[in-house]
Structure 1
Amino acid sequence: MSEITAPPDWSGPSSDPADQQFGDVVVGTDLDTVEEFDAVLVGEPYDGAVISRQGAAKGPAALRNSLAGMKTHHFDTGDIDSVADLGDIDIPSGSIAEVQDAVQEITGSVHELDVLPVFLGGDNSLTVPNVAPLLEDSSVGVLNIDAHLDVREVRDGPTSGTPYRQLHEAGLDSYACIGARHFETSTAYHDYVRENGGTIVTVEEITTDLAEAVDRALSGLGDVDRIYCSVDIDVLDAVYGGCSAPTPGGLLPRELFRLVRLFAADERIAGFELVECAPPLDTSGRTVDAAARTVAHFLSGWSV
């Protein structure tokens, strides 16, 4: 069974005593005390399944570092102040399938607790163990905020491009991809999503009417009991290229921030993840900072 490494010590770098930063409020915890908090960060430093550019294994540490220096105040909802850090899942050696199975032993324990898990990736292959425990006792829909559908067939083993095919085969009830880009997927995978009742909302639909795009994605999930929200940071435009698979024509950060805030307000939300952020490929930390703020915006929307 995988274990969890101790969380880092958090501190806010500002010298202004009036500043309240995530580094001042996030508290290290363990599975015995985590239910004292509203949300918990769980790091997943793994990129062994990436089919493009590696670097996402460094994501959790960089996201924490960026969050630590961010203010906790949102103008509409006030301060975020009940967040804990469980630490990083100790990723075992072995095949991608073996890693998914081992990680699921930990994520299953986290989902059993009365706290919102926020998984800091890591690559998209770990979406499978992040979501699979929810399928055991509920109807579940996934909101995949992503440039890609990630429903490739599993041929020689799972990859970062297969998670939603795997979850469909494990009993996922509904799926919506929001932020998909033209010329970034194959007809066969588009058809697979349609044949399985999924919903695809393109970037153009978001930029034309963001609120309507959110409504269409949520409607596409149907009347499920629980919703899991995944953000692949490659949904941003390629100028934010510190990710596994950057492509042009994506969202701006402010559009992504509004998206996650609106989704987070749904009372069925049962988990959130930020994946595919690859700090070694980043320029001036712009992608890491956008990704960390995405996490913060989700927490501010969820706490309403």
Structure 2
Amino acid sequence: MVKFIMDSFKIYTQEDIKAHVKLRKGETKLGEKIQILNGSLSAQHLKISKARVVILGIPEDIGVRANYGVGGAKTAWQAFLPAFLNLQQNIFLNGEDILLLGHFEIGEPEEDDIESLRQKTAAIDELVSPVIETIVKAGKIPVIIGGGHNNAYPIISGTSWALSQKISVINIDAHTDLRDVGEGRHSGNGFSNAFTHKLLAGYTGFGIHQNYISESLINYSQNNPVKLIYFDDILSNDQSPVNGFKDIVEGLKGPCGLEIDLDSITGILASAATPSGFELNEVRKMILAAANKFCYLHLCEGALKLENGRTDLSIGKTLSYLVSDFIKALHLHNAVLL
């Protein structure tokens, strides 16, 4: 029997936020205006807030390690917080449109063998799903900072349950994460688990690398509602990634989540960091072009520091750009500059 430390969800207070905000005379930082939850975590209390977007963190890398990856994804959330909260409050980005909910506190299993890590990943699923369901039931759009890509499954679960229907996802990623569900839960089979439990209407993998897809995964994609856009084809056709992404989004029907694995972007520290992939500004353009088409945003696999010692001091700012782009593109405000 694998023993787990008690897991929980920490709801932020104003004091939690103030600890990260650097005040400056003549300026207003986003953290000075951002909303918090007043009351317990329930759809009723969330509905009271005028904020449309709810941000939360899942700082864990257990699912990554359960997939034989390098730990470190748990460090991204704490890097994101000060970077995001110290953005400028202005006509382009208004803290009153955003509720900063908090983060999951997830303990390590007492043993770190693969089987224990996979059992713990399954336990994380049960922790995350109801929180996402509550947010979506309140009519809000969750923005989730991971954490491993294993959390795609409980995010899809919670969203699907809240909407009482299957949803679709677009996954900007170098890998499909459609591995065999029989292996046990890990970061490589979040979407195949969602298919198994009849939560996904369709899956589009955008930017998948041909070097990292097995024949079995190719066969799986041909026998399920899966569409794969290979990064290699984008390169060989000299196709604009942004235009290709827009074409896919225009054909969306029904609710759809946007998944972005940071290992699809060059120069970003992740367990499976890549020297060849999308540029950060290309992904920003994709978000700015289509954010209002999505019912959630999940940014995963980025890291401030990996277990092998590699660091990326810019990860907090990188995540902040992607999140602020998503919020701006929802057209919450139509700023007019005179």
- TM-score per shorter chain, which class? 0.7 to 0.9
Aligned equivalent of 2:245, options 206, 214, 222: 214
Cα distance change of structure 1 residues 280 and 211 upon mapping to structure 2, 3 Å threshold: closer
- Structure 1-normalised TM-score? 0.87
Cα distance in structure 2, aligned partners of 1:147 and 1:16 = 44
Native 8 Å contact 1:153 1:165 kept in 2: yes
Match of 1:198 in 2: 226
- The TM-score with structure 2 as length reference comes to 0.79
When residues 236 and 147 of structure 1 are mapped into structure 2, their CA distance, relative to the original with a 3 A threshold, is: same
2:9 paired residue number? 4
Find out whether 1:17 has 2:26 as its counterpart: yes
The alpha-carbon distance between structure 1 residues 243 and 22, as it changes in their structure 2 partners (threshold 3 A), is farther
Offset at 1:284?
Answer: 4.6
C-alpha displacement at 1:29, in angstroms?
A: 1.7
Gaps of 5+ in 2: 1-5, 110-118, 333-338
2:271 to 238, 244, 251: 244
Residues 141-290 of structure 1: matches in 2 within 5 Å? 141-171=168-198, 172-203=200-231, 205=234, 208-218=239-249, 222-223=252-253, 225-237=254-266, 239-240=267-268, 242-266=269-293, 269-281=294-306, 283-290=311-318
8 A contact 1:181–1:249 mirrored in 2: no
CA distance in 2, matches of 1:293, 1:6: 24
What is the Cα deviation at residue 69 of structure 1?
A: 2.4
Q: Distance in 2 between matches of 1:259 and 1:151?
A: 23
1:109, distance to aligned residue in structure 2 (A): 1.9
Whether the 8 Å contact between 1:80 and 1:299 is mirrored in structure 2 is no
Alignment of 1:23-42 (within 5 A): 23-30=31-38, 31=41, 33-35=45-47, 36=49, 37-42=51-56
Q: Provide the C-alpha distance between the structure 1 equivalents of 2:246 and 2:221, rounded to a whole number of angstroms.
A: 19
User: What is the deviation of 1:234?
Assistant: 0.7
Corresponding residue of 1:88: 103
**Residues 196 and 72 from structure 1, CA distance in 2 versus in 1: closer, same or farther, beyond 3 angstroms?**
farther
Q: Give distance in 1, aligned partners of 2:151 and 2:220.
A: 21
Q: Structure 1 regions of 5+ residues with no counterpart?
A: none
Higher Cα Rg, which structure: 2
Deviations 1:1-56 (A, max 9, x none): 953213221454262524x4332332322535433111111111111111211111
- Once residues 127 and 21 of structure 2 are traced to their aligned partners in structure 1, the CA distance between those partners, rounded to angstroms, is 33
1:43 aligns with 2:52: no
Deviation at 1:151, TM superposition (A): 0.4
SS at match of 2:204: strand
Counterpart secondary structure, 1:215: helix
User: Compared with structure 1, are the counterparts of its residues 235 and 14 closer, same or farther at alpha carbon in structure 2 (3 Å cutoff)?
Assistant: farther
Give the aligned CA root-mean-square deviation in angstroms. 2.4
Q: Deviations over 1:134-166 (max 9, x none)?
A: 333123100111111110112331110000110
Identify the residue that residue 114 of structure 2 maps to in structure 1.
none
Distance 1:179 1:17, change over 3 A: farther
Which is worse superposed, 188-197 or 147-156? 188-197
| Distance (whole Å) between structure 2 residues aligned to residue 218 and residue 191 of structure 1 | 24
Letter in 2 for 1:21: K
CA distance in 2, matches of 1:182, 1:288: 29
Deviations 1:72-102 (A, max 9, x none): 55xxx82233111111123355622122122
The offset of 1:288, in angstroms, is 3.2
Q: Is the 8 A contact 2:131 2:158 kept in 1?
A: no
